[in-house]
Amino acid sequence: MKILTIKNYEQMQRYISKEKFINFLFTNLGKYGDEKDAIEKSLNYAFSLAEGKGGFVLLGLNDKGDLIGGVVINQTAMSSYIPENILVYITVHKDHRGKGYGGMLIKKTLESCKGDVALHVDFDNPAKRLYERTGFDAKYIEMRYKKDS
């Protein structure tokens, strides 16, 4: 798998459209993912030039140039009390799982980030073991309160 670091939509367009990438993440994240509008917001944040925003995307491509894995990183512009990077999404196409591609994406992600990296993972997500093997640990339990709109 060839892994490309993407910093903006223009660069991404050379390999895949924004819509196809969003659909790829949505489909392959399955029950562990978010709605398409939330995925789009994370991409807009990653590619933003506004102060305090930014990040990048990793594309994992096979020999034919087909997308088989993807990552979205959002930078927090913080440190110490909140990690500098949030691994928002990572997934491998369902037909290519169990071949080490997820580990390759994690490794490249960690190499590409400046500072610490956090992620959220459901307790029952099978990828949790991959994250633990890579060096992530469960320091906190995240709790959320959602206000009615």
Residue 143, pLDDT score: 73
Number of domains in the chain: 1
For helices 36-46 and 18-29, the axis angle rounded to 10 degrees is 120
pLDDT of residue 96: 95
**pLDDT computed for residue 145 by the predictor:** 78
Q: Which domain holds residue 77?
A: 2-134
Residue 140 within any structural domain of the chain: no
The continuous run of DSSP H or E covering 40 comes out as helix 36-46
pLDDT of res. 130: 83
Tokens of 93: 């196409």
Report which secondary-structure segment, H or E, holds 81: none
**Is residue 145 situated within a structural domain?**
no
144 has a pLDDT exceeding 80: no
Q: Which residues of 131-141 are buried (b: 16+ CB within 10 A; e: fewer)?
A: beeeebeeeee
Identify whether 141 is part of a domain: no
Residue type for position 23: N
> Quick check: 139 pLDDT over 70?
yes
Supply the pTM of this predicted model: 0.89
pLDDT band at 123 (very low <50, low <70, confident <90, very high): confident
Within-domain flag for 125: yes
pLDDT digits (tens, 9 = 90+) for 32-59: 999 999 999 999 999 999 999 999 999 9
Instruction: Report the C-alpha gap between 51 and 130 in whole angstroms.
Output: 33
Residue 139 included in any domain? no
Residue 113: inside a domain, yes or no? yes
76 and 84 Cβ atoms separated by less than 8 Å: yes
pLDDT (0 to 100) of residue 149 = 64
Instruction: Give the C-alpha separation, 43 to 34, whole Å.
Output: 13
- Looking at the domain assignment, is residue 130 inside a domain? yes
Contact (CB, 8 A) for 134 and 107: yes
Q: Six-digit token pair at 105? A: 């994406």
Residue 131: partners with Cβ closer than 8 Å, 6 or more residues away: 106, 119, 121
The pLDDT value given to residue 79: 85
Residue 25 burial class via C-beta count within 10 angstroms: exposed 0-12, middle 13-18, buried 19 and up:
buried
Residue 148 within any structural domain of the chain: no
pLDDT tens digits, residue range 55-100? 999 999 999 999 999 999 999 999 888 899 999 999 999 999 999 9
CATH number at residue 31: 3.40.630.30
